[in-house]
Structure 1
Amino acid sequence: MTQNTEWTGRLWLGRDYGLIHAELGRTAPHAHYAHQVILAPDRPVTVSLDGVNQTAHRLFIPSQVCHSIVDSPDAVFTVYAEPLMFDAQALHNVVFEAALSLESLDHAVRHCPRRSLGDPRVERALSALDRWLTTKVPGSALAAEAHLSLSQLQRLFASQLGLPVRRLVLWRRLRMAMVLILAGSPVTDAAHEAGFADSAHFSRSLKKLFGVTARQALHHIDLRLLA
């Protein structure tokens, strides 16, 4: 069974999705906002989904489902995609039909139809959130941008996005920090610029959402930012 805890390989990061071709180390149980697809071209992987081990060459892990990597003996392809933008079934279909290469997966996910939010209040709140990521993001200020009360905004986010405001802020900050790291910033500087208190806060958040620390996830990963 795989004992390594560090990820080694390549990570391509797009605006609303990420692609990894890597040897995945074991992770602690965790749940994150992204839909996740694991594609194992050689030996199958074993993943614990809500405490039940599943072994397969292809696994789809929906948003917010608790899981952990139990055994991944070879390099695998992994797709992360924001549920805000991707319908789970559409993502499942295009990824499972794509050839197993980063280039093919990038082409498939890039051309996968995006969801329409359809609610200008959510769009206004998300636009304000992205503008304020480097500072504190008060829920009340986001609600004001959407012309809603805070309780109304929380209900709207829960129904349309599937997670509370604070969780979405954390998700967006993690992505921003990763973009800055990809652009060459030291981890500590990227963490501060993305609104984290320090690099330890960034690493704890990464472990909470992905089951690995910043060192485990980034030390041996070749990073590329997609246009």
Structure 2
Amino acid sequence: MASGWRSGGVQPAGIGRIVVWRGGSIWIGHAGAETDFHAHHAIQITIALSAGAVRFRRPAEEWTSYASVIIAAHQPHAFEASGELVAMIFAEPEWRQGRVLRERYPAGIEPLAADAFGDDVAQLAAAFHQGAANDELAARARAIPERLTSMQTAPARPLDKRVERAVEVLRERLGQTVVMADVADAVHLSPDRFRHLFLEETGIRFRPYVLWLRLEVAVALYAAGVSLTDAAHAGGFADSAHFSRTFKRMFGVPAAGIEPILGSG
């Protein structure tokens, strides 16, 4: 699932492309207006691909500039890099790369060394400039968290198999009403035991995680050119307003500001 995207309105959030894969995504392009404070479930790697820098700040703190940075899952932050070419790579903590990154960068906002990625950043920027196909752009993007996780001396503890199965069940049922007790039953756990295990393994409560998965589906479809309303319904949102509110809370910009443009397939 992938497409080009463009932000519209008086204060655009950027222009570029979005490519989504199971367990992550890349948002790459020229940044526009600064975002509001927001937080999301994914770990975020942000890299300035042009000569300038990206700026982040946490609530009650001043802006700090970075060439490249990693933001922990659920860390509230605002972002600004007006006019800069920027890559934002998201890794979900349930997947292998995300679990390693979650252990290595458990909290806050941390700078990443300029030499941490080898040639991967240059190759990603070149792929974007050349209008590479989505699969190639995704592969170039995924090489960056892979490079970071390869530095880990010990493997991350694998996700509990029952929670892993629960995530698959959730994905299968996103178009329906999702009831925690039903998912717990599907993985042979009591609702109370499942609730605690799910939070322990993923770092997020069950209901917000369902919302995150719904958002992931809707964003991918909307970026691919599906209408805001149809994308919202496909993701299991009651309406486009619910989708838009959730999007802004998690990404800091309005969902209605993203309009599809022609992208590579």
The alignment's TM-score, normalised by the length of structure 1, stands at 0.85
Unaligned runs of 5+ in 2: 1-9, 106-111, 129-136, 150-154
CA contact (8 A) 2:35 2:253 kept: yes
Q: Does 2:192 match 1:171?
A: no
Which residue of 20, 24, 43 corresponds with 1:35? 43
CA contact (8 A) 1:18 1:79 kept: yes
SS of 1:175's equivalent in the other structure is helix
How many angstroms apart in 2 are the aligned matches of 1:61 and 1:118? 21
How many angstroms apart in 2 are the aligned matches of 1:142 and 1:224? 37
Q: Does 2:58 match 1:49?
A: yes
CA contact (8 A) 2:223 2:260 kept: no
Deviations 1:36-76 (A, max 9, x none): 11111311121113443211111111111110114434121
Q: CA 1:56–1:159 in 2, change beyond 3 Å: closer, same or farther? A: same
How many angstroms apart in 2 are the aligned matches of 1:181 and 1:129? 21
SS of 2:39's equivalent in the other structure is coil
Q: CA 1:224–1:30 in 2, change beyond 3 Å: closer, same or farther? A: farther
Which residue of 121, 129, 134 corresponds with 1:99? 121
SS of 2:55's equivalent in the other structure is strand
SS of 1:99's equivalent in the other structure is helix
Equivalent position of 1:150 in the other structure: 191
Equivalent position of 2:163 in the other structure: 122
How many angstroms apart in 2 are the aligned matches of 1:64 and 1:117? 21
SS of 1:188's equivalent in the other structure is helix
The amino acid that maps onto 2:121 is A
Q: Does 2:199 match 1:190?
A: no
User: 75-84 or 45-54: which moved more?
Assistant: 45-54
Aligned residues: 221
Equivalent position of 2:253 in the other structure: 212
Among the aligned pairs, what percent are the same residue?
Answer: 30
Q: CA 1:118–1:70 in 2, change beyond 3 Å: closer, same or farther? A: closer
The alignment's TM-score, normalised by the length of structure 2, stands at 0.73
Q: Residue 6 of structure 1: CA displacement?
A: 2.4
Unaligned runs of 5+ in 1: none
CA contact (8 A) 2:18 2:223 kept: no
Deviations 1:80-113 (A, max 9, x none): 11111122149x7997332232547335058667
Q: CA 1:222–1:51 in 2, change beyond 3 Å: closer, same or farther? A: farther
CA contact (8 A) 1:83 1:161 kept: yes
Equivalent position of 2:25 in the other structure: 18
How many angstroms apart in 2 are the aligned matches of 1:20 and 1:201? 22
How many angstroms apart in 2 are the aligned matches of 1:193 and 1:79? 24
How many angstroms apart in 1 are the aligned matches of 2:74 and 2:53? 23
Q: Superposition RMSD on alpha carbons, in Å?
A: 2.8
CA contact (8 A) 1:11 1:222 kept: no
The amino acid that maps onto 1:131 is E
How many angstroms apart in 1 are the aligned matches of 2:232 and 2:263? 16
Q: Does 2:70 match 1:63?
A: no
